[in-house]
Structure 1
């Protein structure tokens, strides 16, 4: 079963972010919409294609995943989450993934175009995917950047990060875990004078039937 949304714009006001850093920082005020939800055990993948005119430090967009216990589904800010996509850092867009189990950690790398790749603005933006995978060592979620041509065909699949703690929760005895999946937009810079607008070409989530 899949949920597909196409061609929409999301906007985030200055001072919005999702971030948790010791000892006391716990920010959860990014605008969240177009969420699709289901049992964590049935989640297969999520994919988003997007782009923006990034200008402010930490401007960001992409995917947001929030695993939560069914018994505490309305807790805000949530205890655990993942966000991944593009973040504007050191004056240019970077690939970015943040995982938060207790506190957040951040991996970031340059958004370098491959030799056969079109400019992101020509193909609707950058495509990020989070997918369930498994091997002889166990199961996890993998974050990839998908390089697509102008017709949407896959050219290259670039691994960005493996996240193992999320799927450990789905085996918790006597407790059902749910997963919210949303497109992400945030503009942490409080001094910015305008909102960040992000063009989303597509947002797709796959669940087991």
Structure 2
């Protein structure tokens, strides 16, 4: 599953164990552009593959979140100016669901992770230039985290990302990563 993927900013430590990817981040890594903080960071760790057309990517996350902004999740990337990252991020003393949509400037939304358990399963679906991010509850229901716009070429890259903007050594485990055909565009089914 991870064999056909390639790194952007390979982390100092990573391995595949029992079909899961385990990543330990480098020092002060992140993906961010301009907004509020007035800096550009494009040195987070992203393992991705090319995908053409509409698709759904899914993964289950388990991390050792300890320090402000420790994060891991899915990433859809066109280039350094256009991308989405969504997953779990440590802020305000606990893990939150997080999504950043970047079109030259990054925006950030977070919500306390309701009813998701210790591991968090996310999926990201491309429907043309619309991108839907969802999370699965403990009960198995999918809930919408974000519906966003991103100008996408026919082929873009999708995969998993991990960052630790305040330190080195955040460790995360990605399991069940898969890219399939897109789920139904019906938001309220």
What's the TM-score bracket when you normalise by the shorter of the two chains? Answer: 0.7 to 0.9
Sort the Cα spacing of 1:83 and 1:57 in 2 relative to 1 into closer, same or farther, 3 A: same
Deviation digits for residues 137-183 of structure 1, max 9, x if unmatched? xx62111002256xxxxx211101101233xx44xxxxxx4211121
Normalising by structure 1, what TM-score?
Answer: 0.72
More helix, by proportion: 1
Match of 1:161 among 127, 141, 146: 146
Shift in Å, 1:64: 0.9
Gaps of 5+ in 2: 4-18, 183-189
Tell me which of the two structures has the higher relative contact order, counting C-alpha pairs closer than 8 angstroms and 6 or more residues apart: 1
Number of the residue aligned with 1:106? 108
Helix, strand or coil for the counterpart of 2:104? coil
Helix, strand or coil for the counterpart of 2:45? coil
Shift in Å, 1:11: 1.6
Match of 1:130 among 124, 135, 143: 124
The root-mean-square deviation of aligned C-alpha atoms, in Å, is: 2.3
Match of 1:144 among 122, 134, 139: 134
CA distance in 2, matches of 1:132, 1:104: 19
Gaps of 5+ in 1: 69-77, 150-154, 171-176
CA distance in 2, matches of 1:27, 1:50: 23
CA distance in 1, matches of 2:50, 2:44: 18
Shift in Å, 1:38: 2.5
CA distance in 2, matches of 1:44, 1:81: 16
CA contact (8 A) 2:54 2:127 kept: no
Shift in Å, 1:133: 4.2
CA distance in 2, matches of 1:132, 1:179: 10
CA distance in 1, matches of 2:46, 2:98: 18
- Structure 1 stretches (4+) deviating beyond 2 angstroms? 3-6
Normalising by structure 2, what TM-score?
Answer: 0.79
Match of 2:157 among 170, 173, 180: 180
Number of the residue aligned with 1:71? none
CA contact (8 A) 1:60 1:87 kept: yes
